[in-house]
Amino acid sequence: MFLGLILGLLIHFFDDQANTLSHYALYVKPLGVIFLNLLKMLIVPLVFSTIFMSVANIGNILSLGRLAKKTVLYYFVTTAMASILGLILVNIMQPGLHAPQLKAMLTQSMPPTLVSAQEGKTLFDILIYDTFLQVIPTNIFTSLTEGSVLQIIFFTLVFAIFVTSLGSKGKPIIDFMKAVEQAVMTMILWVMKFAPYGIFALILVMVTQTGTEAISVMLRYMLTVTIGLFIHGFIVLPLILWFFGKYNPFIFSKHMLSALTTAFSTSSSAAALPVTLECVKDNAGVPEHIADFVVPLGATVNMDGTALYESVAAIFIAQIVGYQLGLTDQVIIFILATLAAVGAAAIPSAGLVTMGIVFKAVKLPLEGIGLIAGVDRPLDMMRTTVNVWGDAVGAIVVSRFEGEKLKPKL
């Protein structure tokens, strides 16, 4: 990232052709394109398999009873709150405004089409004709080949609900989809090995073309995500812990310290899982049967930090390209950011890949992912920490809801 930044700035200031993309940058550009194409390639299989498996898992979980319902409710409410917080902040801070050069770069390949804010349309037109009726596919294979994400999501949700309701007869399909999901996850890890080269190229090309504009805009974007994560991590979740969990947030953060630092340094809720479990059980005193259910499930589906980041990033790119996002679009982004967070695997950069779901659904240029990919790692470290913190708070809150006595280590 830094190498791309420094070389990009040098080319921008010392090469006359920088704005039209100098030959230096042209040599490097393919690396970025390969990386982005690999990410795009994974979007459709990822939507299909992760959303299917989320429904199948939740169906399974809900059949487990009361504890499961409370856990899912806590996860849903906190993830939605994070996503809304992200939306509010990005609308207030508007990090993507006043970025004409980035706009030119992103809209090069496609004419800016507004998602729903065409003039002269009523809310009914927008909600029913432009959104709802477009969501039901007439031919799922056409939707798959065209990458119409909302249609794929709709079909997958309905399909998954019915397959899950078949009970043991649906099992072969569920096993198959589980294998597909695992294969796609492994592919993401493989693509991520290429990330340093891709990111180097993407940053270099961006900075060559836009100079310091890119740097200040990206800093504003990072600041917005960071402030959101801080508010959620330091205010919202501690308040929930205090009110509903009746637990002192300061003491709890001490108990969780090693889990949080592991999450921060690995950018992976899955990697932090063993430490999180140990902290929740041994330090905070959450009963084993609750911790063993709530925490591993949370590591895979409960991602508050990721949901917040997804909604900020989507609106940020919309601001850069100048889309006028109406309330409907914001609601769609909210729903999809929440879904994309549930669908993201607990591995580094998973949220960046599922971002494609949100972008495709509201017709944002996928090249936008290239912009945010460059600065993803530090944000991933922070959002993973918030994800794990959310799971841990969940373990306490659910324990209280279950009427359990906690026996924290002093």
Using CB under 6 A as the criterion, which residues of the chain lie in contact with ligand ASP when the complex forms? 267-269, 303, 306, 344, 346-351, 380, 383-384, 387
Task: Choose between 22 and 268: whose C-beta lies nearer to ligand ASP.
Answer: 268
Spell out a b/e string for 5-25, using b for 16 or more CB atoms within 10 Å of the CB, else e. Answer: bebbbebbeeeeebeebbebb
**Of residues 205 and 386, the one with the C-beta less far from ligand ASP:** 386
Q: Are 134 and 153 in contact (CB under 8 A)?
A: no
Q: What is the rounded distance in angstroms from the CA atom of residue 297 to the CA atom of residue 280?
A: 14
Q: Which is nearer to ligand ASP, 329 or 380 (CB)?
A: 380
The residue number with the shortest CB distance to ligand ASP is 351
Shortest CB 350 distance to ligand ASP, Å: 4
Q: Which of 231, 199, 289 lies closest to 82, judged by CA?
A: 231
Least distance (Å) between residue 276 CB and ligand ASP: 11
Distances, alpha carbon 65 to alpha carbons 55, 60, 400, in Å: 16, 10, 17
The residue (of 18 and 339) whose beta carbon lies closer to ligand ASP is: 339
**CB nearer to ligand ASP: pick between 214 and 341:** 341
Closer residue to ligand ASP in complex, CB, 184/347: 347
- Least distance from C-beta 307 to ligand ASP, angstroms? 9
Smallest distance from ligand ASP to CB 69, Å: 24
Nearer to ligand ASP, 17 or 265 (CB): 265
Q: Are 96 and 217 in contact (CB under 8 A)?
A: yes
Residue with tokens 């040599």: 27
Least separation in angstroms between residue 382's CB and ligand ASP is: 10
Cβ at position 1, least distance to ligand ASP in Å = 17
DSSP calls for 326-386: -HHHHHHHHHHHHHHHHHS-SSTTHHHHHHHHHHHHTT--THHHHHHHHTHHHHHHHHHHH
The number of residues making up the chain comes to 410
Q: Shortest Cβ distance from residue 376 to ligand ASP (Å)?
A: 8
How far separated are the first and last CA of the chain, in Å rounded? Answer: 43
**What is the closest distance, in whole angstroms, from the C-beta atom of residue 226 to ligand ASP in the complex?**
14
Pick between residue 329 and residue 376 the one whose CB is nearest to ligand ASP: 376
C-beta separation of 255 from 275 below 8 A? no
Q: What is the rounded distance in angstroms from the CA atom of residue 321 to the CA atom of residue 319?
A: 6
Per the rule left: phi > 0, alpha: psi between -120 and 50, beta: everything else, 286 is beta
